[in-house]
Amino acid sequence: MLLRINNLQVSYGSVKALKDISLEVHLGEIITLIGSNGAGKSTALMALSGILKPDSGEILFDGRNIAGLDPHAIVNMGISQVPEGRRIFPGLSVHENLLMGGFSTSTASLKKRLQDVYDLFPVFKERRSQLGGTLSGGEQQMLAIGRALMSSPRLLLLDEPSLGLSPVMAQKIFRVIKEINKEGVTVLLVEQNAMAALSLCERAYVLDSGAVKLSGRGRDLINDDQVKKAYLGK
C-alpha cells in the first residue's frame, strides 16, 4: 500500500470541504477521483500536497503520517502534483521550469532526470529557452507533467489535466499518463472527463459533498446506473 487516507477532514475557515474521506492507493495503480464541482477533489489533492492543513485524519504515505507536513517536505518524500490550470511559471523558460521541478533533486541525478523528461517530450528539446507563458495550453500541460516528474515522484497527483484542451490533445495527455504509469509511477487522477478517466484507471472513488459516495473498479463504475446518470450524462 503506497497511500492510505483515513477519515480526512479539511475546511476553509468555517466551511467543511472534506467531511470524511478514506481511500487507498496501491503501488503502481492509476486511481481516479470523480465528482461534481465542489465535491472536494482538488481540496483532497491540496491536502495531500500539504498546501491545506487537515483538521483531522491521517494521510499515510508508505506507512508514515504526512498530514500537516510542509509542502516541500512532502515533495521530498516522493509526492508531486500537477495542479489545476497547470501553473507554469510564465516568465521562466521551458528549461528553467523543468529545473524548478527538480528543485530538491541532487545535482548528480538532475541531469539524468532532465534527459528522461526531454525524451518523454521531445518537442521541448529545441524549445528549451522559450518562455513558459508563451506555450499553448496543451504544451503547458505537458510541461507541467514534465516538471512534476523532475522530482522522481513515486506518487503523481494530477488535477484536471485535460481541462480546456482539444479532444485530440486530451487523448495525447491520457496516453502520456498511461505511459508514465507503465514506468512505475503511481497516479492519482482528478478528472472532469469521467468517461476517459474511468476507462484509464484501475479503481475510482466518487466524491460527493466532501465524502466518498461510491468506489470500485473503473470499468464497473462506467456501467453503474448512478454514475451514468450523474457523471457520464447518459
Partner 1 sequence: MFFQQVINGLTLGCVYAIIALGYTMVYGILGLINFAHGEIYMLGAYLSIIFLGLFTVAGITSYSIVLSIFLSLLLAVIFCSAFGYTMEKTAYKPLRGSSRLSPLISAIGVSIFLQNFVMKTQGATDKVFPYKFHFASIDFLGVSLTSLQMLIICSSFLLMAGLYLFTKFSKTGRAMRATSQDALMASLVGINVDRVISVTFIIGAGLAAVAGMMIASYYGVINYYIGYIAGIKAFTAAVLGGIGSIPGAMIGGLALGLVESLGSAYISAEYKDAYAFGILIIILMIKPSGLLGRSSDQKV
Q: In the complex, what is the shortest distance from the CB of residue 39 to partner 1, in angstroms, rounded to a whole number?
A: 21
Residue 13 interacts with partner 1 (CB under 8 A): yes or no: no
Angstrom distance (rounded) from CA 116 to CA 189: 22
User: Which residue do the cell numbers 460527493 mark?
Assistant: 208
CB atoms within 10 A of CB 147: 27
* Binding segment (CB under 8 A) for partner 1, from list 4-12, 24-32, 81-89, 180-188: 81-89
Residue 87 interacts with partner 1 (CB under 8 A): yes or no: yes
Smallest CA-to-CA distance from 85 within 32, 142, 149, 163 is with 163
Report residue 160 as a C-alpha cell: 484536471
Smallest CA-to-CA distance from 27 within 61, 50, 75 is with 61
Chain positions 24 to 63 lying near partner 1, rule: CB under 8 A, are 49-51
Side-chain-side CA neighbours of residue 40 (13 Å): 27
Residue 178 interacts with partner 1 (CB under 8 A): yes or no: no
Binding pattern for the stretch 148-167 against partner 1, x by CB under 8 A and - elsewhere: x-xx------------x---
Distance of CA 192 to the CA centre of its chain: 13
Q: In the complex, what is the shortest distance from the CB of residue 217 to partner 1, in angstroms, rounded to a whole number?
A: 30
Report residue 158 as a C-alpha cell: 494530477
Nearer to partner 1 by Cβ, of 188 and 204: the residue is 188
Q: In the complex, what is the shortest distance from the CB of residue 99 to partner 1, in angstroms, rounded to a whole number?
A: 6
Q: In the complex, what is the shortest distance from the CB of residue 51 to partner 1, in angstroms, rounded to a whole number?
A: 7
Angstrom distance (rounded) from CA 170 to CA 173: 5
Residue 141 interacts with partner 1 (CB under 8 A): yes or no: no
Residue 71 interacts with partner 1 (CB under 8 A): yes or no: yes
Chain positions 97 to 136 lying near partner 1, rule: CB under 8 A, are 99-101, 103-104, 133-136
Residue 137 interacts with partner 1 (CB under 8 A): yes or no: yes
Q: In the complex, what is the shortest distance from the CB of residue 82 to partner 1, in angstroms, rounded to a whole number?
A: 9
Residue 201 interacts with partner 1 (CB under 8 A): yes or no: no
Torsion (CA) 118, 144, 189, 68 in degrees, nearest 10: 120
Q: Per-residue b/e over 183-196, b at no fewer than 16 CB within 10 Å?
A: eebbbbbbbbbbeb
Which residues contact partner 1 by CB under 8 A? Answer: 49-51, 70-72, 75-76, 80-81, 83, 85, 87, 89-92, 96, 99-101, 103-104, 133-137, 140, 147-148, 150-151, 164
